[in-house]
Amino acid sequence: MKGRSLLMIPGPTEFEPDVLAATGAPTVSHLAPSFVEAFAGALAAMRQVWLSPSGQPFVVAGSGTFAMELAVASLVEPGDRAVVASTGVFGDRYADLLARHGAEVRVVHAPVGEAVDLEQLEDAVRSTSARLFTVTHVDTSTGVRTPVSELGAIARRRGAICVVDGVCSVAGEEIRQDSWGLDVVLTASQKAIGVPPGLALLVAGPRAIERFEARRTPVRSYYGDWGKWLPVLRGYESGAPGYFGTPAINLVAALAVSLQRIVSEGMDARFRRHEILAGAFQAGVEALGLPQVPARPEWRAHTLSACHLPGGVSLSEFVRAVGESGVVIAGGLHPDLRDRTFRVGHMGSVRAGDVLATLGAVEAGLRAVGRPARPGAGVEAASRFLASVAVPSTLGAR
Amino acid sequence: MKGRSLLMIPGPTEFEPDVLAATGAPTVSHLAPSFVEAFAGALAAMRQVWLSPSGQPFVVAGSGTFAMELAVASLVEPGDRAVVASTGVFGDRYADLLARHGAEVRVVHAPVGEAVDLEQLEDAVRSTSARLFTVTHVDTSTGVRTPVSELGAIARRRGAICVVDGVCSVAGEEIRQDSWGLDVVLTASQKAIGVPPGLALLVAGPRAIERFEARRTPVRSYYGDWGKWLPVLRGYESGAPGYFGTPAINLVAALAVSLQRIVSEGMDARFRRHEILAGAFQAGVEALGLPQVPARPEWRAHTLSACHLPGGVSLSEFVRAVGESGVVIAGGLHPDLRDRTFRVGHMGSVRAGDVLATLGAVEAGLRAVGRPARPGAGVEAASRFLASVAVPSTLGAR
Amino acid sequence: MKGRSLLMIPGPTEFEPDVLAATGAPTVSHLAPSFVEAFAGALAAMRQVWLSPSGQPFVVAGSGTFAMELAVASLVEPGDRAVVASTGVFGDRYADLLARHGAEVRVVHAPVGEAVDLEQLEDAVRSTSARLFTVTHVDTSTGVRTPVSELGAIARRRGAICVVDGVCSVAGEEIRQDSWGLDVVLTASQKAIGVPPGLALLVAGPRAIERFEARRTPVRSYYGDWGKWLPVLRGYESGAPGYFGTPAINLVAALAVSLQRIVSEGMDARFRRHEILAGAFQAGVEALGLPQVPARPEWRAHTLSACHLPGGVSLSEFVRAVGESGVVIAGGLHPDLRDRTFRVGHMGSVRAGDVLATLGAVEAGLRAVGRPARPGAGVEAASRFLASVAVPSTLGAR
Amino acid sequence: MKGRSLLMIPGPTEFEPDVLAATGAPTVSHLAPSFVEAFAGALAAMRQVWLSPSGQPFVVAGSGTFAMELAVASLVEPGDRAVVASTGVFGDRYADLLARHGAEVRVVHAPVGEAVDLEQLEDAVRSTSARLFTVTHVDTSTGVRTPVSELGAIARRRGAICVVDGVCSVAGEEIRQDSWGLDVVLTASQKAIGVPPGLALLVAGPRAIERFEARRTPVRSYYGDWGKWLPVLRGYESGAPGYFGTPAINLVAALAVSLQRIVSEGMDARFRRHEILAGAFQAGVEALGLPQVPARPEWRAHTLSACHLPGGVSLSEFVRAVGESGVVIAGGLHPDLRDRTFRVGHMGSVRAGDVLATLGAVEAGLRAVGRPARPGAGVEAASRFLASVAVPSTLGAR
């Protein structure tokens, strides 16, 4: 069993004990009143977390990869044009995925470390008359955050549906689905939502539901067909649960607990906490002399950081050395960066102490691989950053 | 939280405490050595449980409904002919599902309460030149078990791939995948496998893998594409885990625990335990005057029982009354039977005591709805049945 | 880890999942507001469970054996006369225990299988001018229940303090501490209270507190000195926790959960449930031909049963054979009975189904040791008993 | 339920997840083979942790306060002379406690913040012809560590039994019971042993056992009488468990898990880890301008730190402010220090990251109460200390 070591990868993250307790509680029937209530509560809370009172939440057993398919399979039909804005590994997946469902796909690539150029994106949507486009909000492979607040406007201007891949952002980065007019925002349970992996989550706005209802061909995926899930989800919310597949009962119960915590914290406080802790961590790695992958400060995600290692350092040796201080971090994921970068997740239940602990472990790791920084440089810089922000009470206890 | 009440529906079932403890343990990285080992162990154990040394196991986050899609999406191509043998609700789903993936489907229906006629099935396969056929081993909506030991021979004779839906049978009913030549046998975690819902499981035999490798068109489902999962699963088994979607780490860890228990019990002992306990339960309901849905004794499943209620009894009132004795049972599922039958699952960790407790609760429920049977008739008959079998030691403790 | 086998010994018993979850939750500070609230809630609930609004509850880390010492050490002074009414092993312990604290002890023995003769007890109290007497309500070694409703009257008539050892009765057998004038009623957590072992529990009435406050010599036990605990316990109830020893935080949290369940069930309903289920179990063993140790039906406890084995049967072989059906029962404890009796606890969270399951296992055990009863005789008799009582809804679900 | 906040008080501490899982696992019989094995394993491991191959371990349900009584009640007889070396609150308790058991007690007081003067102690033992003396190894109220390696020699020279109160030291501070000739070393589960509170633990050496066996009067405590426990404990170790009181089964199972972890780490590595992390924490608070209670560096405990607050700062306000960063620390305990000091436990499963997180929270707390230190001063100093020690691999992961 995992000891007290700190899991600081970009998902799964450290989960709250009450979330884990719900995950391991004896399984009840999917029709038990207590479960129906928990599921309904989770769906209602999703609207609050996504800031989407008008949205339709979906919770389906599956990984984040399935969430990607669930988000688009019901929205494209054979022959549709689609545009994919890619900042890395996950963006590229949409091209393959959309093609399976019959779409003709154009990919707009951002250079590694850069956000998507929204003008270029809109051009592509316009020129292809795309009916749908996807944007990865925070690219887990590069730590780059693309701004998404204007995507709804682009979508409306161009008559397209915009799908925001928020796997590494929902409940951590600022997202205001309704205000920003985002049609679909998807994520997975094990990131900033704070629940063990196994749930695909998304909220679909009215334009997306309309698009789905207007389709003329059957959805090519059975399990990913919104038409199968809508009556079930609406049934759970109305207290008359339907059945399409047995829900992942334990994970849904855990989701209800975690979302309740998130709602209690408040979305603005939560966005701000992620912003502050990211700032502290990123000040720390900078002080340790580790450059970050995102090319501009404003592109640095608040949920994870991707950093370059000093030349000549073995990534696996470094990650192992950091682990010896009890902190688990991740290696690179992007093919161009794989052996030269490491990634640290700081989302969900993360606290200021976790950031300091991780910077201490990174410092010890650098020492272990023969590239010592000034002792204390990282934690000192992070502390300075924290001292410079006004509201310490938001940094840990909830 | 669920109390000590006994969950006797046809899944989820009562899970062992060590399985639940693994489910709720702090989540580790999907690359943690302990997790890689657990996942590899689970895959190896699946071959033992499916009695398929030559098979390729798949474990993917999703419900049993997704397991159905995962089983066939990679095996059919647009224009393929497929035959579906249907004994109820779940069989019918395959027709819809296969059509999504481009197949032309012929359904062979068995009357409600009857098993599929294998001659009729083979005729349909032959006459359509079907490249694939599906059979529901135990129909969860009727409690009917169709014999599957000959399906491999039929498949080979007809050059088709046979897919056995073992959602309500794997690890409870006798299945010998390799000996019987079954090409794909699928299930879900929350049935006789004994793990909270959220994992789609299947083992694909060599003919199925060959068929997949020979396909000329891309799989229409991205998440259900074997080509995405094979390197990942093989990687976990070889100690070099790949990545396509984050595994449902907690559920996979629980799966490893539960499969290890199953392997320790031994498959023959496990099949026999399910057979004996089903016999005891079914003797009990008969003594209580409750007719069973399966039309012939040899079609009665060992994993669940479906029984008719006396005329005029309200199903919901009866189920609630049974629940007052602390035993949770299920109502009907099949459209033709919905309001007149109840269903009891007796699979996975079920013990003789659970059967007696359930019969006692059913007896009390009949009394509560004004249709009392002779007091003790059900438990007495079950006890007589148990006394008539030789090996009590197999009935409870493992 | 314990599997789904049923623990039917006279303590520890089967505990509810939410009680176990509280036991294993991350430990908080003994000064954490949530813990202070839980502890205060547990103390308040004890008054409801003991039916003693005027009483002072004590919760101290220790086993039931320590509860015995905690109950009397603060109430006797060197030279005091004390009477011990003994029905078996646990009664005898008080003689030793009281002597350690300086008392001159007279023991009134009941023959094995018989309750204490209250006239004889009062005679002894009177003739010795005893200042304190102890009675074991239910003797865990014989299953004999001595009536205790008159003890308060005797105590008042004789100017003595009466101490009721309710280790195997509190929260299962009817006890009305205030109405019956019982001065001290003690128990341990792992019996009908339903919490893992490790807490000594008692409620002291006003006469006992007065006696303590009037003592002229220091209590010989430091840890068992009420004077150390009273400010702490009163502090927790008033929201200003004191400190004498660190509370067993996890067990106290679990106690709060379990007591809340007990209060929700209602004491009358709970007493009745224990009475009915004891009646069912005892009807069952009688039908199986197993005589009970208590010499008269009215002395049979509602919390456990002690039964004689057929001559020539090896106790250990029988207990093992019962265990093979997944039910754990206990051997004898009383020196005169040790190898010829077995004991079954049916208290706390016990349900009708547990009684049936246990009788089924006992029947299988008899078969295994070559002394078969008529198949189904036990469960049938228990079912008949259950059918003869009016309110099935009290038998399981809460 | 406790969230992810860090519990850094001097007990209970942060416990490992596998220890908590064992604590909350379904309770088994105290005679179950798995429990007998776990208990025997715990007793054997205690000898390794106490470095006392010749010792007799005791594990009894009770708090640390009971451990104090269990340690001496069986060793003193009425009229015996005893010396108590007191460095604070806990030392003083022994005077009261020993008097209860009939001893004539002389207390040797050290000034607050100072260790006991061993010459003065030996003088007192010699001049009173004391048969027993007690020393508090680490005083939880002051953070002062008194050296105990010479106590065995003093005890032998003076024919006395030495009792070391290791409540806040065993398994954290260096103790070599056999080599140092310590007769009794006691502790409680919730400190560096790493198990939820509720177990009194001690190891008695051969001289202590001999002294007990030679006593002429009965032990005044029933529950604390070694004569009752020795056959039980020896029975569990020999596989033939006896019975005196029901063991705190869940806590004993958790103890077995935690001791196994401790043995795996190795005692030298564990002592060194505590020393290094204490050094880091104490360097940090010094850099933050917070003086420590122990008057000399060599008296500073490795398991906890007690620090003075700046004048005029409200202790409760400061502790609350620290808590807002998610770290729980303790206020003062010693009557002379209560409102002006705070205490931080760093023992058991503590890691370097916990020290950094706590210093960060202390820094934020100082800022919140208007006494800011230089931002990052504390964590920087701790990091410098950590960088100055050779073996980072000992600081976290085990």
What residue ranges do the domains of chain A occupy?
Answer: 6-11+266-395, 17-265
What residue type is C278 in one-letter code? Answer: A
Tell me if residue A163 falls in helix, strand or coil: strand
Q: What pLDDT is recorded for position B391?
A: 58
Q: Which residues of C touch B376 (CB under 8 A)?
A: 376, 379-384, 387
Instruction: Report how many Cβ contacts below 8 Å link chain A to chain C.
Output: 7
C393 pLDDT higher than 70 = no
Tell me if residue A396 falls in helix, strand or coil: coil
DSSP class of residue B170 equals T
Q: Answer yes or no: do D375 and A354 touch at CB < 8 A.
A: no
Closest Cα in chain C, distance from residue B397 (Å): 4
ipTM metric: 0.97
C363 pLDDT higher than 60 = yes
CA-wise closest residue to B246 among A7, A167, A318: A167
Q: Answer yes or no: do A65 and B222 touch at CB < 8 A.
A: yes
Closest Cα in chain C, distance from residue A171 (Å): 25
Chains near C, with 3+ CB pairs < 8 A? A, B, D
What H or E segment, with its residue span, contains residue A58?
strand A56-61
Q: Which of A68, A70, A228, A250 to mutate to test the interface with B (most CBs of B within 10 A)?
A: A250
Q: Helix D377-388 vs helix D352-368: angle between axes, to the nearest 10 degrees?
A: 160
Q: Which of B30, B222, B251 to mutate to test the interface with A (most CBs of A within 10 A)?
A: B222
Q: Which residues of D touch B34 (CB under 8 A)?
A: none
Q: Which residues of D touch B17 (CB under 8 A)?
A: 25-26
Q: Which residues of B touch D26 (CB under 8 A)?
A: 17
Q: Which residues of B touch A14 (CB under 8 A)?
A: 26
CA-wise closest residue to C172 among C348, C298, C343: C348
Please name the member of D358, D388, D396 whose beta carbon is closest to the beta carbon of A326. Answer: D396
C397 pLDDT higher than 80 = no
Please name the member of D2, D15, D25 whose beta carbon is closest to the beta carbon of C2. Answer: D25
pLDDT band at A398 (very low <50, low <70, confident <90, very high): very low
Tell me if residue A346 falls in helix, strand or coil: coil
Q: How far is CA D392 from CA A323, B78, D395, in A?
A: 10, 60, 6
Cα distance between residue C38 and residue C28, in whole Å: 11
pLDDT band at D2 (very low <50, low <70, confident <90, very high): confident
Q: What pLDDT is recorded for position C334?
A: 84
pLDDT in tens, A337-374: 888 999 999 999 999 999 999 999 999 999 999 999 99
CA–chain centroid gap for D3, Å, is 25
Backbone dihedral angles phi then psi of residue D369, each to the nearest 5 degrees: -95, 15
Kindly identify which residue of chain C lies nearest to residue D20, measuring between CA atoms.
C24
Q: Which residues of C touch A25 (CB under 8 A)?
A: 17, 21
Q: Which residues of C touch A21 (CB under 8 A)?
A: 21, 25
C398 pLDDT higher than 50 = no
Backbone dihedral angles phi then psi of residue C145, each to the nearest 5 degrees: -105, 125
What percentage of chain A reaches a pLDDT higher than 70?
98
Q: How far is CA C42 from CA B201, C173, C189, in A?
A: 45, 20, 12
Bridge partners of residue A43, in order along the sequence: none
CA–chain centroid gap for A302, Å, is 11
Q: Which residues of A touch B2 (CB under 8 A)?
A: 25-28, 32, 34
Pairing of strands A184-188, A199-204: antiparallel
pLDDT in tens, C302-357: 999 999 999 999 999 999 999 999 999 999 988 888 889 999 999 999 999 999 99
Closest Cα in chain B, distance from residue A374 (Å): 30
Neighbours of B3 (CB within 10 A): 18
Closest Cα in chain A, distance from residue D14 (Å): 9
What residue type is A383 in one-letter code? Answer: S
Please give, one letter per residue, the 3-state secondary structure of C70-127.
HHHCCCCCCCCEEEEEECCHHHHHHHHHHHHCCCEEEEEECCCCCCCCHHHHHHHHHH
pLDDT in tens, D358-392: 999 999 999 999 999 999 999 999 999 999 996 54
D15 pLDDT higher than 60 = yes
CA Rg value for chain A: 21
Q: Which of C2, C7, C9, C27 to mutate to test the interface with D (most CBs of D within 10 A)?
A: C27
Q: Which residues of A touch B223 (CB under 8 A)?
A: 62-63, 65-66, 69, 221, 223-224
Write down the mean pLDDT value for chain C.
96
Q: What pLDDT is recorded for position D335?
A: 86
Q: Answer yes or no: do D18 and A3 touch at CB < 8 A.
A: yes
Strands (E), chain D: 6-7, 56-61, 81-86, 104-109, 132-136, 138-139, 144-145, 161-165, 184-188, 199-204, 304-308, 327-328, 330-331, 341-345
Residues whose CB is less than 8 angstroms from the CB of residue D141 and which lie 6 or more positions away in sequence, other chains included: D88, D89, D90, D306, D332, D333, D334, D337
Residues whose CB is less than 8 angstroms from the CB of residue A374 and which lie 6 or more positions away in sequence, other chains included: none
Q: Among A204-213, A351-360, C333-342, D296-305, whose mean pLDDT is lowest?
A: C333-342
Q: What pLDDT is recorded for position C391?
A: 58
Q: Which of D20, D325, D354 to mutate to test the interface with A (most CBs of A within 10 A)?
A: D325
Closest Cα in chain C, distance from residue D222 (Å): 6
What percentage of chain C reaches a pLDDT higher than 70?
98
Q: Answer yes or no: do B7 and A28 touch at CB < 8 A.
A: yes
Q: What pLDDT is recorded for position A390?
A: 62
pLDDT in tens, C76-123: 999 999 999 999 888 889 999 999 999 999 999 999 999 999 999 999
Q: Answer yes or no: do A21 and B24 touch at CB < 8 A.
A: yes
Q: Which residues of A touch B188 (CB under 8 A)?
A: 246
C395 pLDDT higher than 90 = no
Cα distance between residue A366 and residue B200, in whole Å: 42
Kindly identify which residue of chain C lies nearest to residue D95, measuring between CA atoms.
C222
Q: Answer yes or no: do C367 and B21 touch at CB < 8 A.
A: no
Residues whose CB is less than 8 angstroms from the CB of residue C213 and which lie 6 or more positions away in sequence, other chains included: none
**Conformational region of residue D143, where left means phi above 0, alpha means psi within -120 to 50, and beta covers everything else:** left
pLDDT in tens, C366-392: 999 999 999 999 999 999 999 999 654
Q: Which residues of C touch B6 (CB under 8 A)?
A: 353
Residues of chain B predicted below pLDDT 70 = 390-398
Q: Answer yes or no: do C99 and D68 touch at CB < 8 A.
A: no
Q: Answer yes or no: do D21 and B17 touch at CB < 8 A.
A: no
Instruction: Report how many Cβ contacts below 8 Å link chain C to chain D.
Output: 210
Residues whose CB is less than 8 angstroms from the CB of residue B298 and which lie 6 or more positions away in sequence, other chains included: none
A397 pLDDT higher than 50 = no
Q: Answer yes or no: do C25 and A25 touch at CB < 8 A.
A: no
Q: Which residues of A touch C17 (CB under 8 A)?
A: 25-26
Instruction: Report how many Cβ contacts below 8 Å link chain B to chain C.
Output: 186
Q: In the CATH scheme, what architecture does the domain A17-265 have? A: 3-Layer(aba) Sandwich (3.40)
Tell me if residue D129 falls in helix, strand or coil: coil
pLDDT in tens, A54-103: 999 999 999 999 999 999 999 999 999 999 999 988 888 999 999 999 99
Pairing of strands B199-204, B56-61: antiparallel
Q: What pLDDT is recorded for position A32?
A: 96
Cα distance between residue A386 and residue B11, in whole Å: 50
Write the burial class of residue D275 (CB in 10 Å: 0-12 exposed, 13-18 middle, 19+ buried): middle
Please name the member of A188, A218, A246 whose beta carbon is closest to the beta carbon of B63. Answer: A246
C284 pLDDT higher than 90 = yes
Closest Cα in chain B, distance from residue A202 (Å): 16
Q: What pLDDT is recorded for position D391?
A: 58
pLDDT in tens, A276-312: 999 999 999 999 999 999 999 999 999 999 999 999 9
Q: Answer yes or no: do B223 and A27 touch at CB < 8 A.
A: no
Q: What pLDDT is recorded for position A395?
A: 52
Closest Cα in chain D, distance from residue C186 (Å): 15
**Residue D190 in tokens:** 């919730």
Kindly identify which residue of chain A lies nearest to residue B194, measuring between CA atoms.
A27
Closest Cα in chain D, distance from residue C391 (Å): 30
C51 pLDDT higher than 90 = yes
Residues whose CB is less than 8 angstroms from the CB of residue D221 and which lie 6 or more positions away in sequence, other chains included: C69, C100, C220, C221, C223, C224, D69, D73, D74, D101
Report the top-level CATH class of C6-11+266-395: alpha beta
Q: Which residues of D touch C34 (CB under 8 A)?
A: 1-2
Q: Answer yes or no: do A21 and D3 touch at CB < 8 A.
A: no
Please name the member of A349, A372, A379 whose beta carbon is closest to the beta carbon of D4. Answer: A349
Please name the member of B23, B101, B220 whose beta carbon is closest to the beta carbon of A23. Answer: B23
Q: Answer yes or no: do D21 and B21 touch at CB < 8 A.
A: yes
CA-wise closest residue to D228 among D247, D250, D206, D243: D243
Q: What pLDDT is recorded for position B338?
A: 80
Q: Which residues of C touch D101 (CB under 8 A)?
A: 220
pLDDT in tens, C188-208: 999 999 999 999 999 999 999
Please name the member of B68, B219, B249 whose beta carbon is closest to the beta carbon of A12. Answer: B249
Q: What is the mean pLDDT of residues A145-173?
A: 98
CA Rg value for chain B: 21
Taken in order A164, A170, A172, A177, is the CA torsion positive or negative? Answer: positive
